Structure 1
Amino acid sequence: MDITRTLPEECIAKIISGTSPRDACRLSLVSRAFEAAATSNFVWERFLPPDYQEIISSSSSSSASLNMLTKKNLYFHLCDNSILIGNSNNTSFQIDKLSGKKCLMLAARELSIIWGAGDTPYYWNWISSTQSPVLPKSRFSEVAHLRSVCWLEIKGRIETKILSPKTKYGAYFIYSMENGCYGFQTPVKVSIRLENEVEGGDAINAYLNPRIWSGTHDQQQSNEELLQINQQDGRLPIRREDMWMEIEIGEFFNGSQVDNHGAVEMCLKEVQVLNGKSGLVVHGIELRPKEES
């Protein structure tokens, strides 16, 4: 029996809205009736975050132009394009294409960087991301550039209520290394903890400079080569499609809205060896959903 002849489009759309964005795209190929239902605003509004209107209205992008899009086009626009939100434009928002969950990134200006406030330019300075000919393209107007420190400590904090509930998240430090960087042969320590948890936050080794593994400073290894290296001693970075490097800080589960975790705190530091360090460029810290294993 052809259910498209017995069920109205609204019923088919309600059924499809209980699936996933991927399933909706597949079901749109079944028939014209399924295509009409699977591309409807009703279905794709269900896949958008519940507070998407509030997020868009807080964006520096034109909320009027975004609201003119169909809900399906808006969904994929927010998957493929990050938008800056908040009063300071130092947080970016995007949607995970497979799940519709929120992805958020804190700019370097939103992080707590020891000696990096700008009043001690001998240690850190802030450079325009649009004027640098060598840096990858940034989402934000400026990035933090490490000139010279011995004590490296960078922290980020974000309220869990603005993330998607019932979601496993990974937190990633996004950065670049200048030619001539030094002091990163020693691993840094990365840790993450939910604010209301007594336990957690165990520090793990992370090697920011992948070139230390190659035996030469003028040869950049590929992601595949890095993944083949023995990682028992610590985490290694990968190069992203946008040409920034990322290294995982850790992961956490964001429960329901009533769990009241408060905030998640992320930390990257090297405060033991205290050797001179230079050449690190900080883009920010990104939080995005991880697939459940």
Structure 2
Amino acid sequence: MNMDITRTLPEECIANIISGTSPRDACRLSLVSRAFKSIATSNLVWGRFLPPDCQEIISSSSSSSSLNMLTKKNLYFHLCDNPILIGNSNNMSFQIDKLCGKKCLMLAARELSIIWGSGDTPQYWKWISSTRSPVLPKSRFSEVAHLRIVYWLDIKGIIETKILSPKTKYGAYFIYSMVDGFYGFNVPVKVSIRLENEEEGGDATNAYLNPRMRSGTHDRQRSNEELLQINRLDGRLPIKRVDMWMEIEIGEFFNGSQVDDHGVVEMCLKEVQVLNGKSGLVVHGIELRPKEES
């Protein structure tokens, strides 16, 4: 005999059970019956899928008033697809991962340390609004950094681990674009990531911001498919995102519990060995996203 647990267990008890599953499972359970739908879409369930400090984060956003009017489920999916700007200068964005509900954060170019890029030396880097540019993808931030000419490329981002989701494996990604006429990226840059309390970070890894160009004229005569196959052997390659920016992985790390508080994570992208002239890179920022445990 089938038993309808919605008739035998209190709604709060069933909500506790559902909130111990996953957002995907809750959506599936809402299709079981009308009674299950009411519980599986409730604020009690979806409030637990949101990050514990979600309300505090939203309060620091200019869009807090409109977000506070949403149900917890609608808020969850809104934050999956619509990053909000947070921080004193709106130089960081926040959204959540649709599958697990954990935090995704992105540091704007203005939040990064870019050698020669502070704005005091506009002959090297200039700050532009991508919303006014007909050739750049749309940016979630007010400004992006456009490389005019440097020989020493050195970009660094740091983030406090306490504002990330605990007990989570994260990947860090450099988000960028290239404008027409770019040059100097026929050699790989070096990317690395380390926790502040580590004496040494992981070994720097080759990353090809422009995978179709490598040093040597012989390589430039190869087909794109051949180049991609070669580059996979000795470095990371970029991919084009849905928002039309490019991204390349800097590295990954495990963020422990809040009790273990590691301090900060340092993420670096450099080319300081060949020292050839470089131009045409547009820096959007560095994004941190949860990665599936392998």
Question: Normalising to structure 1: TM-score of the pair?
Answer: 0.95
What does 1:80-229 correspond to in 2, within 5 Å?
Answer: 80-212=81-213, 215=220, 228-229=229-230
Instruction: Kindly state the Cα deviation for residue 168 of structure 1 after the two structures are TM-superposed.
Output: 0.2
Closer/same/farther in 2, CA of residues 126 and 268 from structure 1, 3 Å limit: same
Same amino acid, percent of matched pairs: 86
Instruction: Kindly state the Cα deviation for residue 33 of structure 1 after the two structures are TM-superposed.
Output: 1.2
Partner of 2:206, secondary structure, is strand
Instruction: Kindly state the Cα deviation for residue 210 of structure 1 after the two structures are TM-superposed.
Output: 2.6
What does 1:12-23 correspond to in 2, within 5 Å?
Answer: 12-23=14-25
Partner of 2:157, secondary structure, is strand
Residue deviations 1:231-257, cap 9 Å, x none?
121001000010000000000000000
Is this contact kept in 2: 1:16–1:43, CA < 8 A? yes
In structure 2, what is the Cα distance between the partners aligned to 1:226 and 1:98?
Answer: 34
Instruction: Kindly state the Cα deviation for residue 176 of structure 1 after the two structures are TM-superposed.
Output: 0.2
Partner of 1:78, secondary structure, is helix
Is this contact kept in 1: 2:117–2:126, CA < 8 A? yes
Instruction: Kindly state the Cα deviation for residue 160 of structure 1 after the two structures are TM-superposed.
Output: 0.2
Is this contact kept in 2: 1:226–1:236, CA < 8 A? no
Instruction: Kindly state the Cα deviation for residue 148 of structure 1 after the two structures are TM-superposed.
Output: 0.3
What does residue 51 of structure 1 align with?
A: 53
Partner of 2:212, secondary structure, is helix
Residue deviations 1:188-238, cap 9 Å, x none?
00000000112323100000013327947xx9x6xx998655512100100
Q: Which runs of 4+ in 1 moved over 3 A?
A: 213-216, 224-230
In structure 2, what is the Cα distance between the partners aligned to 1:112 and 1:271?
Answer: 15
Gaps of 5+ in 1: none
Question: Normalising to structure 2: TM-score of the pair?
Answer: 0.94
What does residue 252 of structure 1 align with?
A: 253
Partner of 2:85, secondary structure, is strand
Kindly report the root-mean-square deviation, in angstroms, between the aligned alpha carbons of the 2 structures. 1.8
| 1:269 matched to 2:266 | no
In structure 2, what is the Cα distance between the partners aligned to 1:173 and 1:70?
Answer: 33
Amino acid at match of 2:82: N
Amino acid at match of 1:7: L
Partner of 1:176, secondary structure, is strand
Is this contact kept in 2: 1:191–1:250, CA < 8 A? yes
Is this contact kept in 2: 1:28–1:36, CA < 8 A? yes
Closer/same/farther in 2, CA of residues 94 and 119 from structure 1, 3 Å limit: same
Amino acid at match of 1:25: C
Partner of 1:122, secondary structure, is coil
Instruction: Kindly state the Cα deviation for residue 165 of structure 1 after the two structures are TM-superposed.
Output: 0.2
Say which of 34, 37, 40 aligns to 1:35: 37
Gaps of 5+ in 2: none
In structure 2, what is the Cα distance between the partners aligned to 1:265 and 1:2?
Answer: 52
What does residue 78 of structure 1 align with?
A: 79
In structure 2, what is the Cα distance between the partners aligned to 1:161 and 1:226?
Answer: 40
